[in-house]
Structure 1
Amino acid sequence: MTIFQAAGALLSLIVVFGMLNQRFLKLPETIGITTVGLLTSIVLFVFSYGNHAYVALAQETVRRIDFADVVFHGLLSFLLFASALHVDLGKMRAVKLPVFLLSTVGVLISTAAVGVGFHLITLSLGHPVGWLWSLVFGALISPTDPIAVMSVLKNAGAEESLKGKIAGESLFNDGTGVVAFIAFLGLASGATEFSPSNIAITLAREVGGALVGGLLLGFGAHRMLRVLEGPALQVMVTLAVATAGYSVCELLHVSGPLAMVVAGLIVGNQGTTRELSLASKEQIFGFWNLLDELLNLVLFGLIGLEVIALSFRVDMIWVGIAAVPVVLASRALSVAIPLLALRNLHRTSPHSIKIMTWGGLRGGISVALALSLPEFHGREMLIGVTYLVVLFSLLVQATTLGKVIRHLTPCAPPPGTLATIEHEERSAAS
């Protein structure tokens, strides 16, 4: 099967999944497509019981799609750039200190807490995973997924300041999470020795280099958008930033995802808000809004299908179920400590910690990191548990986040109404 044929089959499946979701489940598109993909995988296993040839064929077909490569070298740059492009930088500045602490200190707290908790539960269930590999799991599962978070927050009904914290944290915490993942992976695999200086250098290169690279890409695109005429060529400039810019960052060993976030914030708040015609603005934002929605459907469809290629054992399922409360408790701890430390400097609503804990969604990035793990005893366990935690996050947390927000803040009207807009404006003004 050629790449073109595989892409055609994948897109056709996603269309079918979308139709089934709209007809029967009526869930938000991204979550619904993941659910239908998961149900399709389960149905395939059930109806192919006793005839493993069909399962083997389906597994081989899905395995031909390198999920980690598709995410990190295909979808991620576009999705992060698109998400950042639509973020209001002025509102983000109002929560910059909480966002900074949550996306750095918070991720490290969660990594340590998940690592300890995961090691203990695997030990107690008779399937021990070593301390270092448990910390690797903590690092890959701790960053919240900006793609999942941004798609759900659109209709969650949260107040504006809380939205800013959740969205901002999810956009920026990938850099910290990936650096922690690389550091602990090197220690666990024996490729590197523990050294605080090495970790500090890696963090400075990945994060510092990404900030500089993102600024150069963003302001460079801003200058080109001012000079060039014609919406088509201007859209091409933004595409070049998300493709060539991301590739250059990877060649320089700096965080491409973080660079895309910085570049998207600058272009969205500088390059396309001044000196451009209304037609150009509509073309640029319209194009990226549509591309964002299309690629989200592809990513969540892949998440639903990927279960076909995984080998779930009973012990793995029990460990995954036990890992869910560990991840949630660690998330609560990683949110509570930074926010409580800032309580005298930054106003926080009474239920922020609860909402941010439940709104800390995991998605394709965690799955991609897990699938990129090298071969070792326990690799399948870590991949399977990661997938189960991600499924819980998408199918339970994401679908109930709006209800949780409305339950904890009953004065907030349902999302999508005029009252919601007025409520958010009053919250932002206060």
Structure 2
Amino acid sequence: MSAFHLIASLVTVAAFLAWANYRFIHLPMTIGLMVLSLACSVLIVAAGHFGFAPIADLSLVIRAIDFDETVLDGMLGALLFAGALHLDLGRLIAHRGLVLALATGSVLLTTLIVGVVGHQLFTMIGLAIPLSWMLVFGALIAPTDPIAVGAILRRVGVPKELETVITGESLFNDGVGVVLFILLVELLGGEAITAAVVAKLIAVEVLGGLLYGAVLGYIVYRMLRAVDNYQVEILLTLAVVTGGYALAHSLHVSGPLAMVVAGLLIGNRGREFAMSETTRNRLDQFWELIDEFLNAVLFVLMGLEIVILDMEPGVPWAAAIAIPLVLLARLVSVAGPVALFPSGRRLPRGASLVLTWSGLRGGISVALALSLPESPFRDKLIMITYIIVCFSIIVQGLSVGRVTSRILARS
């Protein structure tokens, strides 16, 4: 099947499922698409076992989709840019210390807790996965995904400061999580990791990505000031997330971090000083549509992945252990920064609980898991990751509004 037919099939499935969700189920669109595509996949697998569905042909089609490359090199940059466009830079700067601590320290601590404690717990149930692999698992499950939560939190009246912290952290911790994942995977391959190697990776990937994003954002900002044509200006922002992201990959700097910084500059300084009212409205409508479209395809893809995944012995028990462990690690890793930083103490009481329950895991975790090198532990960790992501999106995503309302009401 050609790339065009694959894309056409995914868009068609996403469109029909989005219609069915809006018409009959009325869930938030991304969550509804995940639920419906997951249900369709389960029905297809069940029918295939009884000979009623061409499960082998469908598996070949889904395997032809390089999920990790599609997400990490295709969708992620556009999604992060779209999210950063609407983030208030002034509020983010006011909480810069807290957001930085959450985007870095929380990822590192979550990785350590999940890796070390998970290694011990999995061994107790007979699923012996080496500590080095469990640390990699901790790194890929640590980044959070605000895709399905932002609109829900706004609807329940979350204070703007808390919303800024949640969104800001999730935008930056994707880049940090990817860098940490790369570092730990290199360790798996027997690479000699020294302090100098770590410092170089951080300097090139993280600091280089931030600097590159700032330069890219400033250049496009100056270009936006020179024209007053919304078609040209929207095309320039598209160039940022396509050509800019591709160039970041060639320069070996963090593309995700670069897209966040570029989006913040264009969405704040560019919006205020370089765009007419018409351009602002058209740009917002365009990137809102792109955001919804990419999310729809991504969540349908995640739901369909179950067709090609195998449930190995011990995996359901490991996933049942990993779900509360990941939530506990998240709570521990966010409670410290919230309590220590002055901007964290200005947040409502119960902010740590809101940050914990709203910290959904999403497509980036699945993509990183699917990019793991071949080993006897790879398939187990992919399936555990997939179950955690499904629980996170469906259970946490559907309840985050009610949970947040109750926490804030008590505080």
Q: TM-score normalized by structure 1?
A: 0.92
Structure 1 segment 234-273 matched on structure 2, within 5 A:
234-273=233-272
The answer for the alignment partner of 1:98 in structure 2 is: 98
The answer for the alignment partner of 1:366 in structure 2 is: 365
1:404 positional shift: 0.5
State the distance in 2 between where 1:177 and 1:219 align: 26
Do residues 279 (structure 1) and 278 (structure 2) align? yes
Distance 1:187 1:33, change over 3 A: same
Structure 1 segment 25-424 matched on structure 2, within 5 A:
25-51=25-51, 54-150=54-150, 152-190=152-190, 192-342=191-341, 346-410=345-409
C-alpha contact (below 8 Å) 1:149/1:170 kept by paired residues: no
Secondary structure of the residue that 1:104 maps to in structure 2? helix
Match for 1:405: what amino acid?
Answer: T
C-alpha contact (below 8 Å) 2:139/2:180 kept by paired residues: yes
C-alpha contact (below 8 Å) 2:228/2:276 kept by paired residues: no
Match for 1:295: what amino acid?
Answer: L
1:134 positional shift: 0.2
The answer for the alignment partner of 1:417 in structure 2 is: none
Q: Write out per-residue CA displacement over residues 65-99 of structure 1, whole angstroms, 9 at most, x where no aligned residue.
A: 11111111211111111110011111212211110
C-alpha contact (below 8 Å) 1:367/1:386 kept by paired residues: yes
Greater Cα offset, 61-70 or 257-266: 61-70
State the distance in 2 between where 1:370 and 1:341 align: 33
Greater Cα offset, 338-347 or 113-122: 338-347
Q: Write out per-residue CA displacement over residues 123-173 of structure 1, whole angstroms, 9 at most, x where no aligned residue.
A: 011011100000000000001124344455443532111111111100111
State the distance in 2 between where 1:276 and 1:106 align: 36
Distance 1:391 1:345, change over 3 A: closer
Q: Write out per-residue CA displacement over residues 198-253 of structure 1, whole angstroms, 9 at most, x where no aligned residue.
A: 11221121110011101011111100001123111111111111111111111111
C-alpha contact (below 8 Å) 2:84/2:260 kept by paired residues: yes
Match for 1:299: what amino acid?
Answer: L
C-alpha contact (below 8 Å) 1:80/1:147 kept by paired residues: no
C-alpha contact (below 8 Å) 2:309/2:383 kept by paired residues: yes
State the distance in 1 between where 2:376 and 2:149 align: 32
Match for 1:347: what amino acid?
Answer: R
Match for 2:272: what amino acid?
Answer: T
Greater Cα offset, 29-38 or 16-25: 16-25
The answer for the alignment partner of 2:8 in structure 1 is: 8
Q: Write out per-residue CA displacement over residues 35-93 of structure 1, whole angstroms, 9 at most, x where no aligned residue.
A: 00000011112222232872212211111111111111211111111110011111212
Secondary structure of the residue that 1:276 maps to in structure 2? coil
Secondary structure of the residue that 2:49 maps to in structure 1? coil
State the distance in 2 between where 1:44 and 1:213 align: 45
C-alpha contact (below 8 Å) 1:157/1:405 kept by paired residues: no
Identity of paired residues, percent?
42
State the distance in 2 between where 1:375 and 1:142 align: 21
Greater Cα offset, 18-27 or 243-252: 18-27
State the distance in 2 between where 1:200 and 1:312 align: 39
C-alpha contact (below 8 Å) 2:348/2:408 kept by paired residues: no
Match for 1:292: what amino acid?
Answer: D
State the distance in 1 between where 2:343 and 2:54 align: 61
How many residues matched?
411
C-alpha contact (below 8 Å) 1:140/1:370 kept by paired residues: yes
The answer for the alignment partner of 1:428 in structure 2 is: none
Greater Cα offset, 285-294 or 271-280: 271-280
Q: Write out per-residue CA displacement over residues 8-47 of structure 1, whole angstroms, 9 at most, x where no aligned residue.
A: 1111111221122223322100000000000001111222
C-alpha contact (below 8 Å) 1:148/1:363 kept by paired residues: no
Greater Cα offset, 22-31 or 359-368: 22-31
C-alpha contact (below 8 Å) 2:126/2:314 kept by paired residues: no
C-alpha contact (below 8 Å) 2:205/2:253 kept by paired residues: yes
C-alpha contact (below 8 Å) 1:81/1:263 kept by paired residues: yes
Secondary structure of the residue that 1:376 maps to in structure 2? coil
Q: TM-score normalized by structure 2?
A: 0.96
1:352 positional shift: 0.6
Match for 1:379: what amino acid?
Answer: R
State the distance in 2 between where 1:375 and 1:252 align: 27
C-alpha contact (below 8 Å) 2:337/2:344 kept by paired residues: no
Segments of 5+ residues of structure 1 without an aligned counterpart are 413-430
C-alpha contact (below 8 Å) 1:319/1:385 kept by paired residues: yes
State the distance in 2 between where 1:244 and 1:291 align: 17
